[in-house]
Structure 1
Amino acid sequence: MHVPDGFINAPVSAVAGVVAAGAVAVSLRGARHELGERAAPLAGLVAAFVFAVQMLNFPVAAGTSGHLLGGALAAILVGPWTGVLCIAVVLLMQGVLFADGGLTALGVNIVVMGVVTVVVAHFLFRGLRAVLPRTRGGLTAAAFVAALVSVPASAAAFTLLYAIGGTTDVPIGKVLTAMLGVHVLIGIGEAAITALTVGAVLAVRPDLVHGARGLTAPLKLRVDGELVDAAPAEDAPATAPGSPRKVWIGGVVTALVLAGVVSFYASQSPDGLEKVAADQGIDAKAEEYEHATAGSPLADYEIDGIGIKRLSGGLAGVIGVGLTLAVGTGAFWAVRRRRRAADTGAQV
């Protein structure tokens, strides 16, 4: 659902840019409370993983494909504030290096694909978490539903922005119906990917999943016919969770394989927004705009000078994962250091 230049007029794009900048600024402050010693590198990994999986378009209907948006996944794994930052990093790297998503529409994309998906998924996940069983299955089910709903919510947000600042005169009712129809289908794919990923991490290291915090139920004992919390054994060793290094390495390898190899087999059909734009005439003026980084050596996820398409696309994907991982991890470590400095100053 990367919005290109020319879909939304300049005033609305500028306002969306201000909103996106404000959301990123607020998220930078909020992320300080989410990024611990282990969470900073994992947040960079989440950004790189989202970048990789977004290269894997999957078919959803005749002549239409979809891809992961990632807001729900990021919010559940590393928290809502950090989740917004993860998606913002991905969109920035895609727009600047790969000419994917317009630069004038960067604010629109951050709002639609980042802020809306994260906010909707976060609150829905929390609500479901409160009523579903405190088990891995319950959390996975909550993740599935939250991710599913976040995608049509994002589509509705784009339609609202288009109703305010669209560059072509098309019936908004038809646009909304088409956007919601196709993005509900894409949402099913989003939900499956999110649930599988969250479930996999929960199975290995539930302590690394932000959305699973505080859900460990105490051991119950029946005393005089009533269930009471069991006191922890005094001689039980206090074992701290191990290093997340194995999870980090496994995640990086998975992202590299997905972007470098599996992406070659992704659907070549236009994604949901592209299909609706072509069918409804939304893209009538988009051809007047040339992407500012169309001449990038990585534009369109290919490397200039390499004639073998499989190799060119694979190397571009690997480079994208590496750069996203480096930029994301560096940014999150910087946020972590600011929190540490603030804590030290408060103690003094």
Structure 2
Amino acid sequence: MLSVMSELLRWLDPIADIRSDASRLFVSGARGAAAFVPRGFPDVLARHRAARGGHREAMLSELSTAGWPKSACLGEEEKRLDACQTCSVRLSKLWLHRGQCLLCETKLRSRGRCPYGGARCSRSFCPHDSRCIVCEQWSCERCRLLRGDGEDVWQIAAQHQPDVIFLDFDRTLCTTKAGASPLSGNHSLDSDLVALCGMHQRVYIVTRNSRSEDIAFFLRQHGISARLKEEQAHASEASGLRGNVEVRSIKREGFRSKVNFVLQLLADSMGGSEATGLFVDDDIKELTEDCEALREVLASGRLLRLLFVRSGGKE
């Protein structure tokens, strides 16, 4: 508790000093997939989750053989007990998590289902670790679906050396919400993704936002060599890469999905079959749409996907 309070006190002063023309510090995710927090904002609950995880398996084994302890089903008043959404057993809140008793949660996982999101998490549930990428903030190399912030993207790009990088704009590279112009209001860019744009030779900003011209202009204002599809890229010069970042609006170009665009660009890059890519977006739907079309390129290891979150939301 002391660490939480000290962290809260640490950020109260900069929050209080914010003015209307200042850069944003905290921005909540529109769909719960991303939260913009300042660099250095820690995950204060990581230590507690690690301690809980160490005893979970032993507890589940005991419950499956001996049943629920008497204290789990007793309360001074009936209203103090809540029903499991799956089996309807009434238990105290200690034995329920997000509406599921611990035993039903385990059974649902064994059936390949997310115990919390149900059918809507069918594409984000990892069959290898029985965890949900979204609901449980999980990453899986075998699914080719990771979760991380800008620094993670930078490190993954350095490690895997993809031929092409595909970055979402709204709520990922920039603090804008879907469809908004970055030239309206005070918006900022993720510093690690900006650095990546300055280092990699081929980056596509893949967005549903139709304001491509505004996006390219805004990126150039912040030192990124951005261009539109119809603008010719310049060769690399001594001062750095020129025109290596291309802004593409799938809405304006008529692509049915971002996955469709990514797959087409991979097929057209470097002769096709050998091109590799890194696809970064804050919306799990964008990363998992067109599953059948994705299957081959994921199995071959040519595409790695990353669900983007800000520092403090990874664990």
TM-score, normalised with respect to structure 1: 0.19
Normalized per residue, which structure has more helix? 1
Q: Could you say which structure has the larger radius of gyration?
A: 2
Normalized per residue, which structure has more strand? 2
TM-score, normalised with respect to structure 2: 0.20
Q: Which has the bigger relative contact order, CA under 8 A and spacing at least 6? A: 1
